[in-house]
Chain A
Amino acid sequence: MQKSEKSVRDLKIGESGTICCLSDPEMSLKLLEMGCIPGTPVKLNSKAPLGDPITIIVNDYTLSLRLDEAATIKLK
């Protein structure tokens, strides 16, 4: 797995990216199960009124997660 600087956290609303890898081994299991598989396109859908958590769209469904969690999803 190569290291990439950009993560889902850095996306703007409406912007998309492709998942490269997951940086937190423990969290990654949960994210993988939810469909955040490397190579899958992901789009930042919305942010909570206070900026955190956020919702993303992967595999055609909406997933909500905290910014800390989003930061572990690195993008290509």
Chain B
Amino acid sequence: MAELIYPGEKVAVNTSVQKPIAQIALIGNPNSGKSSLFNQLTGLNQKVGNFPGVTVDKKTGICQLSAQQKVRIIDLPGTYSLYPKSLDEKVIIDLLYNQQSELYPDLVIITADASNLKRNLLLFTQLVDLQIPAVLALNMMDVATKEGVKINVEQLQQDLGVPIVPVNARNGSGMAALKILISQQLPAPDRTFFKIPEKLEGLVHQIRQHFNLQNDYLAWHYLHQFKNLTFLSETDKTYIAELLQQYEFNSNTLQANETIGRYTQINELLLDSVRVEKPDNNEKFSNRLDQILTHKVWGYLIFFTVLFMMFQAIFAWATYPMDLIDEGVTAVNAFIQSHFDGPLISLLTEGVIAGLGGILIFIPQIAILFAFIAILEETGYMARVTFMMDKIMRKFGLNGKSIVPLISGVACAVPAVMAARNIDNWKDRMITIFVTPLMSCSARIPVYTVLIALVVPEKYYLGFLNLQGMVLMGLYLLGFIAAVLSAWVMKIILKTRERSYFIMEFPVYKMPRWKNVGLTIIEKVKAFVFEAGKVIIAISIILWVMASYGPGERMAEAEQTIQQQAKQYNWSPEETEIRLSSEKLESSYAGVFGHAIEPVIRPLGFDWKIGIALLTSFAAREVFVGTMSTIYSVGDSENIKTIKEKLLAEKDDAGQVFFTPARAFSLLIFYVFAMQCMSTLAVVYRETKSWQWPVMQLIYMSGLAYVCSFIVYQLFK
């Protein structure tokens, strides 16, 4: 069929980009040791970027083959076939089917688990049919041997028509052979596994001509997946859709037949090269371990113990490095401030470095949380947890895998939102990300402590039940209930075509590979610092400007007034300094903002001072305490007792105590629900690659906070 070629369209394709080095895509089933192999090949030479336009991380790394030769390795998401089921997997087809893509590989390394060759070869045969030069890395030969699976590698290589390298991605053996192999110019495989059904040959031919494709199977995938191929234009998609109608193309049936056909071929092929000597190995170690670890009673008990340990680690261990970072940033700021002066310096110290500190301080928590998650993931325990929790979580529109982000949210929503990446169903993942910030994170603790100390008496019941502690627990519970109920509502609202699956391989228990754990931590920390960090610094600077500058001459006037009063009442320099910062904050834009929103927050029992605190808390909730102590001119913001005294001494216009229980509880409830954390918003933006989600979160959570605070205040005042 003759096609009109529009010169303008064809020129736009970036054929001129000369790839500086060869690109190798690493592809394989989940749990086939793909990530370990990637880590073995590239080590610390890794970079995490984004695939264009999607929420999936793109991991690339440089592999030094020899002194002269380097190649770029692209790590693709684990998949069972080239017909992707989740959004993550769609990245693969966008890359492999678009020969103009700058990531289009010169070679693919296919990792396969030797102990489960049959299923792993499905993906392999599909890739071979695409006729991209390929190498099969046969991983986990040791496991296969232990299970009585004997593989005749030479025979297999002959049958498959592609070079095979037995490797052990855990200890690195076979790497040298693999590197030698990939340094050569390998030819494209010449055998094919799949034959296009006869009556569709014409259709495939037409597609090949239209898109100028050199391979039948590639054209075949265009037919099945054109809707998911982002590089196709709408015209192209309509063109394919119309052709499909003409040919009465039934994608589901054809795919099912193809898969069955491939398995039939694989079965025959493996008869030659694979012998299983112990056919019945159902009583494997993993199965016996599962009887305890997924037991009705022990299973949950062990799980909660693991969780408890994780919290302990995040709360207790992370405190030390976090304090160090905090002190370090303060020291750097103090040093700069003592040596230099001026608005630029104060922008640098109070805006940029303070913002930077706000990012760095999360590193220990992120590192520890992801160390735990990586270990649980690596050992195979995480799959058991999701297995045990799935039924409960599903009722609320979540998924077994949502349990990890939700629970980590109690420490900090930032790594928790990142942990939601393990959820492969889009809807489940979005709901999880959306509700996670409702879990009471550790940054709320200082706010909770100050306010509880203010209005809840330190009473004991039954000798050990501390009333303040019980209120604190109630606040956590409230956050959890809000999260779960919101998820349930979202489940009803959110429409999606993607179905929620729980069909997954149950991995066998393994020792974690520490190198992988380490690299996961580095990767997560880097992602947070560089991606979320940008937004956090930007907002820090904006907040700094709002708190440091005021309209007109108000700031200068405030300073004058205080200096005069200082002389008049003979204040000490410290006292003057404290009053000055309080006065300045009131005159600043932040103060103006506080006054401006006062009518809005008055029904909640808040005044303009709390309004300022609400604004500055946006940097991070714990800033609330610092701001309150500045506004109320408390010298020592670390000391809860002095803050408490100051707040208790605060009188309203009528001369009554300002912080009544109604006000304090209203404020507490506000902090339980409100989205006041730019780090979380930044991370949600990063994870969803759109502003839609963080903005929705901001509106929803603030709305929820407002309504609940309103109810609390109006009921109790």
Nearest B residue to A28, CB-CB: B256
Count how many chain B residues have C-beta atoms less than 8 Å from C-beta atoms of the other chain.
43
Q: What separation, in Å, do the CA atoms of A55 and B675 have in the docked complex?
A: 39
Looking at the assembled complex, report how far the CB atom of B284 sits from the nearest CB atom of chain A, in whole angstroms: 9
Q: How large is the interface on A (under 10, 10 to 19, 20 to 34, 35 or more residues)?
A: 20 to 34
Nearest A residue to B122, CB-CB: A33
Question: Which chain B residues lie closer than 8 Å to A5 at the CB level?
Answer: none
A38 on the B face (CB < 8 A): yes
Question: Which chain A residues lie closer than 8 Å to B442 at the CB level?
Answer: none
Q: In the complex, are the beta carbons of A27 and B119 less than 8 A apart?
A: no
Q: In the complex, are the beta carbons of B505 and A34 less than 8 A apart?
A: yes
Q: In the complex, are the beta carbons of B299 and A49 less than 8 A apart?
A: yes
Q: What separation, in Å, do the CA atoms of A27 and B502 have in the docked complex?
A: 11
Question: Which chain A residues lie closer than 8 Å to B260 at the CB level?
Answer: 32, 37-38
CB 8 Å contact bits of B500-511 with A (1 = contact, 0 = none): 011111101000
Question: Which chain A residues lie closer than 8 Å to B391 at the CB level?
Answer: 48, 50-53
Nearest B residue to A37, CB-CB: B263
Q: In the complex, are the beta carbons of A33 and B83 less than 8 A apart?
A: yes
Looking at the assembled complex, report how far the CB atom of B385 sits from the nearest CB atom of chain A, in whole angstroms: 11
Q: In the complex, are the beta carbons of B252 and A26 less than 8 A apart?
A: yes
Q: In the complex, are the beta carbons of A53 and B502 less than 8 A apart?
A: yes
Question: Which chain B residues lie closer than 8 Å to A64 at the CB level?
Answer: 383, 387, 502-506
Question: Which chain B residues lie closer than 8 Å to A34 at the CB level?
Answer: 80, 119, 503, 505
Question: Which chain A residues lie closer than 8 Å to B116 at the CB level?
Answer: 59-61
Residues of A27-76 whose CB lies within 8 A of B:
27-35, 37-38, 43, 45-46, 48-53, 55, 57, 59-66, 69
Q: What separation, in Å, do the CA atoms of A43 and B253 have in the docked complex?
A: 26
Judged by DSSP, the binding face of B is helix
Nearest A residue to B252, CB-CB: A25
Looking at the assembled complex, report how far the CB atom of B49 sits from the nearest CB atom of chain A, in whole angstroms: 29
Return the contact of B387 from the options A37, A55, A57, A60 (Cβ within 8 A).
Answer: A55
Q: In the complex, are the beta carbons of B390 and A53 less than 8 A apart?
A: yes
Q: In the complex, are the beta carbons of B499 and A26 less than 8 A apart?
A: yes
Q: In the complex, are the beta carbons of A52 and B390 less than 8 A apart?
A: yes
Q: In the complex, are the beta carbons of B392 and A50 less than 8 A apart?
A: yes
Question: Which chain B residues lie closer than 8 Å to A59 at the CB level?
Answer: 116, 118-119
Q: In the complex, are the beta carbons of A63 and B281 less than 8 A apart?
A: no
Q: In the complex, are the beta carbons of B383 and A32 less than 8 A apart?
A: no
CB 8 Å contact bits of B274-296 with A (1 = contact, 0 = none): 00100001100011001100111
Q: What separation, in Å, do the CA atoms of A35 and B392 have in the docked complex?
A: 28
Given contacts A48-B294, A59-B119, A64-B387, contact A69 B263 (CB under 8 A): no
B255 on the A face (CB < 8 A): yes
Q: In the complex, are the beta carbons of B503 and A63 less than 8 A apart?
A: yes
B388 on the A face (CB < 8 A): yes
B225 on the A face (CB < 8 A): no
Q: In the complex, are the beta carbons of A29 and B255 less than 8 A apart?
A: yes
Question: Which chain B residues lie closer than 8 Å to A65 at the CB level?
Answer: 502-504
B81 on the A face (CB < 8 A): yes
Given contacts A33-B122, A65-B503, contact A49 B256 (CB under 8 A): no
Return the contact of B83 from the options A29, A43, A63, A69 (Cβ within 8 A).
Answer: A29
Q: In the complex, are the beta carbons of A30 and B503 less than 8 A apart?
A: yes
Nearest A residue to B83, CB-CB: A29
Question: Which chain A residues lie closer than 8 Å to B256 at the CB level?
Answer: 22, 25, 28-29, 32
Return the contact of A62 from the options B122, B147, B388, B506 (Cβ within 8 A).
Answer: B506
Q: What separation, in Å, do the CA atoms of A43 and B506 have in the docked complex?
A: 14
Looking at the assembled complex, report how far the CB atom of A66 sits from the nearest CB atom of chain B, in whole angstroms: 5
Q: In the complex, are the beta carbons of B503 and A69 less than 8 A apart?
A: yes
Q: In the complex, are the beta carbons of A48 and B388 less than 8 A apart?
A: yes
B259 on the A face (CB < 8 A): yes
* Max chain B Cβ within 10 angstroms of own Cβ: one of A30, A45, A60, A66: A60
Question: Which chain A residues lie closer than 8 Å to B287 at the CB level?
Answer: 45-46, 62
Looking at the assembled complex, report how far the CB atom of A64 sits from the nearest CB atom of chain B, in whole angstroms: 5
B85 on the A face (CB < 8 A): yes
B300 on the A face (CB < 8 A): yes
A-B pair number, CB within 8 angstroms: 108
Return the contact of B119 from the options A46, A53, A61, A69 (Cβ within 8 A).
Answer: A61
Return the contact of A49 from the options B81, B259, B300 (Cβ within 8 A).
Answer: B300
Question: Which chain B residues lie closer than 8 Å to A61 at the CB level?
Answer: 116, 119, 505-506
Q: In the complex, are the beta carbons of A33 and B387 less than 8 A apart?
A: no
Q: In the complex, are the beta carbons of A25 and B390 less than 8 A apart?
A: no
Question: Which chain B residues lie closer than 8 Å to A50 at the CB level?
Answer: 388, 391-392
Q: What separation, in Å, do the CA atoms of A25 and B251 have in the docked complex?
A: 10
Nearest B residue to A35, CB-CB: B119
* Max chain A Cβ within 10 angstroms of own Cβ: one of B85, B286, B505: B505
Given contacts A33-B80, A33-B83, A35-B263, contact A25 B501 (CB under 8 A): no
Question: Which chain A residues lie closer than 8 Å to B300 at the CB level?
Answer: 49
Q: What separation, in Å, do the CA atoms of A27 and B252 have in the docked complex?
A: 10
Return the contact of A29 from the options B252, B276, B281, B400 (Cβ within 8 A).
Answer: B252
Looking at the assembled complex, report how far the CB atom of B270 sits from the nearest CB atom of chain A, in whole angstroms: 11
Q: What separation, in Å, do the CA atoms of A26 and B295 have in the docked complex?
A: 32
Looking at the assembled complex, report how far the CB atom of A28 sits from the nearest CB atom of chain B, in whole angstroms: 6
Looking at the assembled complex, report how far the CB atom of B110 sits from the nearest CB atom of chain A, in whole angstroms: 15
Q: What separation, in Å, do the CA atoms of A65 and B122 have in the docked complex?
A: 20
Nearest B residue to A57, CB-CB: B282
Return the contact of A33 from the options B259, B502, B506, B508 (Cβ within 8 A).
Answer: B259
Question: Which chain A residues lie closer than 8 Å to B400 at the CB level?
Answer: 53
Nearest A residue to B251, CB-CB: A29
Q: What separation, in Å, do the CA atoms of A66 and B276 have in the docked complex?
A: 30
Question: Which chain B residues lie closer than 8 Å to A37 at the CB level?
Answer: 259-260, 263
Question: Which chain A residues lie closer than 8 Å to B508 at the CB level?
Answer: 62
Q: What separation, in Å, do the CA atoms of A76 and B80 have in the docked complex?
A: 26
Looking at the assembled complex, report how far the CB atom of B494 sits from the nearest CB atom of chain A, in whole angstroms: 19
Q: In the complex, are the beta carbons of A48 and B387 less than 8 A apart?
A: yes
Looking at the assembled complex, report how far the CB atom of A51 sits from the nearest CB atom of chain B, in whole angstroms: 7
Question: Which chain A residues lie closer than 8 Å to B506 at the CB level?
Answer: 55, 61-64
Return the contact of B499 from the options A27, A45, A60 (Cβ within 8 A).
Answer: A27
Q: What separation, in Å, do the CA atoms of A25 and B276 have in the docked complex?
A: 33
Q: What separation, in Å, do the CA atoms of A49 and B389 have in the docked complex?
A: 9
Q: What separation, in Å, do the CA atoms of A45 and B294 have in the docked complex?
A: 12
Q: In the complex, are the beta carbons of A32 and B502 less than 8 A apart?
A: no
Q: What separation, in Å, do the CA atoms of A57 and B81 have in the docked complex?
A: 20
Q: What separation, in Å, do the CA atoms of A60 and B143 have in the docked complex?
A: 13
Looking at the assembled complex, report how far the CB atom of A55 sits from the nearest CB atom of chain B, in whole angstroms: 5
Looking at the assembled complex, report how far the CB atom of A73 sits from the nearest CB atom of chain B, in whole angstroms: 10
Question: Which chain A residues lie closer than 8 Å to B502 at the CB level?
Answer: 53, 64-66, 69
22 A-B pairs within 8 Å (CB atoms) are namely A26-B252, A26-B499, A29-B256, A30-B85, A30-B503, A32-B259, A33-B80, A33-B83, A35-B119, A37-B263, A49-B296, A49-B299, A52-B391, A60-B147, A61-B505, A62-B287, A63-B504, A63-B505, A64-B387, A64-B502, A64-B504, A66-B390
Q: A35-B118, A53-B502 are in contact. List 7 more A-B contacts (CB 8 A).
A: A31-B503, A32-B263, A33-B122, A62-B286, A62-B506, A63-B505, A64-B506
- A-B pairs, top 7 by smallest CB distance, nearest first, are A62-B506, A32-B259, A49-B296, A50-B391, A66-B502, A25-B252, A33-B80
